[in-house]
Amino acid sequence: MTGAFAHRAIFFIRDYNPEQNEDNVLAKMLDHKEAIISYLSWASLFLGFHTLGLYVHNDVMLAFGTLEKQILIEPIFAQWIQSAHGKTSYGFDVLLSSTSGPAFNAGQSIWLSDAHGSKLMPDKKDFVIVFRAMAQDEVGNVSQFNESSTYLMGWLRDYLWLNSSQLINGYNPFGMNSLSVWAWMFLFGHLVWATGFMFLISWRGYWQELIETLAWAHERTPLANLIRWRDKPVALSIVQARLVGLAHFSEFNHYGKEKFDSEGEEEAKIGTEISFDSSILKKEISKVPALSDKWEIYGKLQSLPRNSAPTRLHRRCFLTGRPRANYRAFGLSGHILREMVHACLFPGATRSSW
């Protein structure tokens, strides 16, 4: 469709002759081109805004952590097209959706050969051609974009998009955790870093627009009677703008990376502290067949159960290897199990491990 529209536009510009096309379909279409363009415009805007609104709504629901409120629309028309194309009974089979079509075979052998495992961006460093940037002193910056884009997209994906619900819900029970402060600091650091990076790329232009806009607004406010510019307000020079942008970029790049690393170390530390392999405890329990042997090794408990004879009850509980469930079945309180865990000197044994 895109190719057909493009060639039709080329025809109207290059080959169309009004004298040879009087009162036919092409002439009538050109006579009503304003109405046609207006209808196509509002139809495109309608579809575009509704599609964008759907994406925005789903992303907002993801950011708030309420995935169940997303609007999921089934692509009915696309399924119809995919199910209708590529049928051999039609007499023509030219689409890539069919494995027996000539286009598919040509793509496999000619067009897409050696492209399935291609890594275009990371392989740029192995190319002979150098991707030049805008200025002579910026040669090589564009070629380095593959590593930078991967690094930045990892931050955006893992910390700003997937974990944004924790930041938004930082003041309710859903988002209260020990890492919320670091998450907010990372978000703030990323904001300043991204702003500095934008200024660093645009050099002087964005600073000039920003400062001159503020100066223009300031001169047209009542405060202009108190503070006046002696000369016409000017923006930063190129060197000054580069210095400011580089300072923002470097400082908050380091700042954000420090928070990134510290948060990862803290998560790993917390995960190490709370993690426990229950198989170790089960293996240690299986080594001792009965509770009487455990008593001979570890000694008696500090306190006796209140509801029945301790020796017979504990032996029955430990024979199945499920002491906590058996304690509940007998209706005993949890303090007995907690004392048994403290009495048994298994590595890393805690009450939650049982």
Tokens 């990892």 belong to residue: 154
Tokens representing 34 are 């304003």
Per-residue pLDDT averaged across 62-89, rounded? 77
Q: At what angle do helices 238-274 and 180-202 cross, to 10 degrees?
A: 160
Q: Which of 35-49, 115-129, 238-252 has the lowest mean pLDDT?
A: 115-129
- Give me the pLDDT at residue 126, please: 57
Confidence of residue 22 (pLDDT cuts 50, 70, 90): confident
Judge whether residue 2 has pLDDT over 70: yes
Contacts of 227 (CB under 8 A, 6+ apart): 218
- Give me the pLDDT at residue 227, please: 63
CA-based nearest residue to 211, from 240, 236, 246, 229: 236
Q: What value does the mean pLDDT of the chain take? A: 62
What's the Cα-to-Cα distance from 226 to each of 105, 216, 231, rounded to whole Å? Answer: 77, 15, 15
Residue 238 lies in a domain: yes
Tokens representing 68 are 């169940």
More confident residue, 199 or 279: 199
- Give me the pLDDT at residue 141, please: 44
Judge whether residue 137 has pLDDT over 60: no
Residue 171 lies in a domain: yes
In the chain, the N- to C-terminal Cα span, in Å, equals 65
- Give me the pLDDT at residue 134, please: 42
- Give me the pLDDT at residue 308, please: 40
Q: Which of 84-93, 206-215, 234-243, 301-310 has the lowest mean pLDDT?
A: 301-310
More confident residue, 266 or 337: 266
More confident residue, 188 or 280: 188
Per-residue pLDDT averaged across 302-306, rounded? 42
More confident residue, 245 or 130: 245
Residue 266 lies in a domain: yes
Residue 292 near residue 311, CB atoms below 8 Å: yes
- Give me the pLDDT at residue 83, please: 76
Distance from chain centroid for Cα 259? 18
CA-based nearest residue to 330, from 353, 307, 302, 303: 307
| Residue that finishes a domain, picked among 274, 303, 334 | 274
How would you classify residue 275: left for phi > 0, otherwise alpha for psi between -120 and 50, otherwise beta?
Answer: beta
d(CA 116, CA 237): 48
Residue 310 shares a structural domain with residue 241:
no
Beta strand ranges found along the chain (DSSP E): none
- Give me the pLDDT at residue 43, please: 92
Per-residue pLDDT averaged across 39-68, rounded? 86
Residue 211 shares a structural domain with residue 261:
yes
Residue 170 shares a structural domain with residue 208:
yes
Domain span including residue 325: 278-353
Other Cβ atoms closer than 10 A to 183: 20
More confident residue, 204 or 136: 204
Work out how many domains the chain is built from and give that number: 2
Per-residue pLDDT averaged across 4-23, rounded? 84
Q: Which of 14-18, 172-176, 350-354 has the lowest mean pLDDT?
A: 350-354
Residue 245 shares a structural domain with residue 217:
yes
Residue 213 shares a structural domain with residue 301:
no
Residue 265 shares a structural domain with residue 338:
no
Residue 245 shares a structural domain with residue 297:
no
Residue 354 near residue 323, CB atoms below 8 Å: yes
More confident residue, 69 or 175: 69
Residue 308 shares a structural domain with residue 261:
no
Residue 289 shares a structural domain with residue 239:
no
Judge whether residue 46 has pLDDT over 90: yes
d(CA 225, CA 64): 46
Q: Which of 111-125, 175-189, 210-224 has the lowest mean pLDDT?
A: 111-125
d(CA 218, CA 236): 18
| Residue that finishes a domain, picked among 234, 256, 274 | 274
Residue 315 shares a structural domain with residue 260:
no
| Residue that finishes a domain, picked among 253, 274, 295 | 274
Residue 204 shares a structural domain with residue 224:
yes
Residue 169 shares a structural domain with residue 267:
yes
- Give me the pLDDT at residue 333, please: 45
Q: Rounded to two decimals, what is the model's pTM?
A: 0.34
Q: Which of 70-74, 82-86, 293-297 has the lowest mean pLDDT?
A: 293-297
